[in-house]
Structure 1
Amino acid sequence: MNVKNTITLSDRYMRYAEQQVEDGQFPSVEKVVEAGLDELMRSGDGMTQEHHDAVTAMANEINRRLDGPRDKWISMEEDNLFDRVRARIADRQQAK
């Protein structure tokens, strides 16, 4: 069932949608809007495909590193990251 509705798009979005139609990517502006909504629905959390791909790439890199040899890992005892973060937080709190 189709429901007729009227929406207002900014010039930027309308130009983009019309360009997609002119380029033959979509048959109508309506289909461009539907494709955008489909993408949001597929992502389930409102995350764009670009963001989803970036998160997936980061997860893949983390897993790749976890699968690497443990002697290449940075020991928590050798790394002062948390000390640096705590110092930075303390500095910011003192600056307030």
Structure 2
Amino acid sequence: MTVKTTLSFTDRHHRFLTDKVGEGVFASQSAAVAAALEQMIRDEEERAIALDAMAEEIRARMRTPHSEYVDPEGAFTAARARIGVARQG
């Protein structure tokens, strides 16, 4: 279903839309706006997926017994050594 609506744009946005339609990137200004909205929808969906994944990772880490924690000093010893060598070279 298509809904007709009225939108207002700044001069800059209007020029951009007009240029993109003139270049053949979009068939119309409406098509350009629709493409932008579709991208925003995809971005929000991807953001929600990423946030859900991070939340699940945090929950999983919170369930990790303290005895399984990694010592932060030991975890980065090799990396610190490589950085030190690189800085000397």
Gap regions ≥5 residues in structure 1 = 48-69, 76-96
Identity %: 28
Residue 40 (structure 1) aligns with: 40
Letter matched to residue 74 of structure 1: R
- Alpha-carbon offset, residue 74 of structure 1: 2.5
Q: Deviations for 1:8-34, whole angstroms, at most 9, x for unmatched residues?
A: 011000000000000000010000101
Structure 2 length-normalised TM: 0.52
CA, structure 1 residues 12+72, in 2 after alignment: closer, same or farther (shift >3 Å)? farther
CA RMSD of aligned residues (A): 2.8
Residue 13 (structure 1) aligns with: 13
- 1:57-96 matches, within 5 Å, as 73-74=79-80
CA, structure 1 residues 19+41, in 2 after alignment: closer, same or farther (shift >3 Å)? same
More helix by share: 2
Indicate the SS of the match to 2:27: coil
8 Å Cα contact 1:40/1:46 also seen in 2 = no
CA, structure 1 residues 46+71, in 2 after alignment: closer, same or farther (shift >3 Å)? closer
CA distance in 1, matches of 2:25, 2:77: 50
CA distance in 2, matches of 1:45, 1:5: 25
Gap regions ≥5 residues in structure 2 = 48-75, 82-89
- State the structure with more CA Rg: 2
8 Å Cα contact 1:20/1:26 also seen in 2 = yes
